[in-house]
Structure 1
Amino acid sequence: MLRFLTAGESHGKALTAVVEGLPAGLAVSEDDINAQMLRRQQGYGRSVRMKLEADRVEIVSGLMGGQTIGGPVALRIENRDARVSEPPLTRPRPGHADLVGSMKFGFEDARRALERASARETAARVAAGTLCRKLLHEFGIEVSSHVVEIGGVAIRTRPEQWDDIPAAAEASELRCVDPAAEEEMRAAIDDARKRGDTLGGVFEVVALGVPPGLGSYVHWDRKLDGRLAQAVMSIHAVKGVEVGPG
């Protein structure tokens, strides 16, 4: 069974990820992972932090001769924006882990909670996910995503074939497959930025080549939909999951 753990704080020295359960003999390189790290930093409306970080991955263990050896694979991502010390944060931000984290562990400085709860952790997830993507590719399974809605602006058209969605999404700064809607989304993002606000949205993940029979209907904790929903809901700021056409 595949499993990954991450460690590190948003402005600590580095982020790390450990992936266990990969079979031996899977070809992986730092260039493969760094290509996905670069994709993570793209997109219209990204934060200033994305421009500060280089996000180059170092494979620390688990590979020999460019192939996995069956043991845990350890990855390291240095933080350029590392900070030795910061003034205490005593005013919790709404919608973040600041307040509940401080209450849970008795912190007087909310930074001790927010540094770990930061979405910066997703950089380590992308690095770990690249290894999983490589493994899925060996079985003919490809996963892609595209934006369906941002700030109330939704797509009105999409490619007729599922196979055409990945290329259409990659061609867009917003991963939007509807050019007309993309322009409206850009305008909504610009307006929100001027107001010092943020926007919610909806994205769709498409997996092609998935064989039938994965998961199990026998027990609740082995159901594929349930496991997918838990994984997606664990991503920072995700508040809902819908499986299938609805």
Structure 2
Amino acid sequence: MKPESIADIKQKLVTITTAEDPYVKSLREDSRAGVQTALKQFDRKLEKQVALLKKRQEMSQFEQQAYKEGYQLIAGIDEVGRGPLAGPVISAAVILPKDCDILGLNDSKQLSEAKRNQLFDEINQKAVAIGIGLVDQTEIDAINIYQASKKAMMLAVEQLSKTPDYLLVDAMTLPMETAQQSLIKGDARSISIAAASIIAKVTRDRLMKEYSLEYPFYGFERNAGYGTKEHLLALEEHGITPIHRLTFAPVKNYVK
């Protein structure tokens, strides 16, 4: 009988989720180089899956503790955009389902743009509720970036379609009556805050790409308003735009 083709073997391995599967065990006896290469790829995929499952379990500890204490709707909250010279600060609040099965959630800064976009879509599909809070550059200049970040977070919570009974907040305590926990580097420690970090960053990056069409010299589609060399040179040559933060150095040097 003609041996099974390598292509067919790879196709079958895609659907198998354990190394103990009888079919996988039988392939271990197949000495063909192509089969052994396919098995190595399969083993690496399983190792990655195990690592992602372990990471998700580690990052669910704060949510699980809140569930044990009787809370039901736990919102993770994070903001993006404190440091840029232009554009708003944006916050997101995300309530994930109790049995959240999203793998790969992490601090948005640690993820590639492609991975952020993929997770952004998955979070939007699976989240119980998502809220977005935006505070623009004019208000940032008026009340300072710390207060603006806090306000954006509160707005995000208010925008949720379901009222949370517990908040997990990245490095901030909010003046709200809802029970809450502030976590330093929470976007790398809590799946809910990580989800909020991804929603906030993708939302803000896309907004800054839209602004780049209106203000093409500053590289907003690449730097999201941060003070890159390209951005600073454009400030020198073209001056400030209506979306620049006038109280931030060196932007304030160009205010007439």
TM-score exceeds 0.5:
no
Q: Shorter-chain TM-score: what band? A: under 0.3
- Greater share of strand residues, 1 or 2? 1
- Greater share of helix residues, 1 or 2? 2
